[in-house]
Amino acid sequence: MKPAEARAQFPALATGPVELDNAATTHKPRCVLEALRRHDEQACANVHRAAHARARAATQAYEEARARVARFLAAEPREVVFTQNATAAINLVARGWAEPRLRAGDRVVVTALEHHSNLVPWQQVCRRTGAELVVLPCDAHGRLPLPRELPPRTRLVAATRVSNALGTLVDTQELVENAQRAGAAVLLDLAQAAGHLPLDGGSHDADFVVFSAHKLYGPTGLGVLRGKAARLAEMEPVTFGGEMVSSVRPEGAEWQLPPLRFEAGTPPIAQAAGLAAALDFIDGIGLPGIREHELLLLDRLLAGLARVEGVRVVGPPTAAERSGAVSLVIPGGDVQVAAAVLDLAGVSVRAGWHCAQPLLERHLACGPTLRASVAVYTDAADVARFLDVLPEALAASR
């Protein structure tokens, strides 16, 4: 399938507004909706323990989904943990792997581009352990120049592959190589990259990677943690209950091997089946084709915004340095008002801090932004409609 043919696979887009809020969540293609319905109609049961036919079908689908994610990430099924979302996956690593190992004087390195979900957990872990949090600064265009060396006693580097607020691409391959030379572990946040870009070497080699299903055409309520097998074996569970135990006695319990050790309680079974279908959908188009399609849209969007008076684009100046999103500020205007006017005109965008307040407020000093973000189903007409109604939104915002 070519990207231009993908739009027809999304029932939600048959009617409704122009969808340019895709960095927040994406719509689901028909194959994902069918996978969710098929689970509920044919295999609605809990996994792993029951012997009846529906439970066997649910267990098979769940573990096949794990294997499907593993193939997508060039990993092994035992390295794939299902969580509630990418945020939960990051918190699991922060509490289960980093916190027991950090000591006063150690350092955790993050970047200025991080979503709050890949910043606040590390703030909390450093506060509890006495470790120091070091933030790698970005330049005035929101690009991330990488240092030649990491600070002494860096134990972990946590970085995004793509900035959710700006769309900036990060050279995670070089970052991972730098961290490995320093003996530090690496967690990469692929939430804004997994459905847009082919995986780079850094994503393959990092100790941990995370993403959310709902940002790559899958269901909400499901995240993925891929941890190298040796790292998962070192991790402590942080959520306790059924399923994650191998035996329980009144005085204590023993844990399952990873990944089940980290999946306490009833897991997101239907959502896992939906994610597997979403990955099949993506592979049917190909991530290189999706990237090429989105680059054309970003080029068109940036060129159009350059002709609009009264806005300033924030972030890298070229499409090649971006993936997915373009943010802009309205000097003297209110981005929330502009977003509301765009909504009335049938265009959905997002306005605010985008869970990246330190980046926008401290590092770039630009304040909240209006963000338009594309997906595989976005077309040139969507971009044109946004550019057509934007001047009206700008006027109203002032």
Q: Which residues are catalytic?
A: 355
Phi and psi at residue 376, in whole multiples of 5°? -65, -25
Measuring CA to CA, which residue among 172, 240, 182 is closest to residue 208? 172
Q: How far apart are CA 374 and CA 196, in angstroms?
A: 10
**What's the half-sphere exposure (Cβ side, CA atoms, 13 Å) at 316?**
22
Single-letter residue type at 121: P
List the structure tokens of 68: 């499907």
List the structure tokens of 203: 């994503």
Question: What contacts 178, CB < 8 A, 6 or more positions away?
Answer: 146, 147, 148, 149, 150
Please give the angle made by the CA atoms of 224, 230 and 235, to the nearest 5 degrees: 65
> Cβ distance 359 to 368 under 8 Å?
no
Judged by DSSP in three states, 258 sits in: coil
Q: How far apart are CA 299 and CA 29, in angstroms?
A: 25
CB atoms within 10 A of CB 262: 25
Position of tokens 């350059």?
306
Q: How far apart are CA 107 and CA 152, in angstroms?
A: 8
Rg (CA), the chain: 22
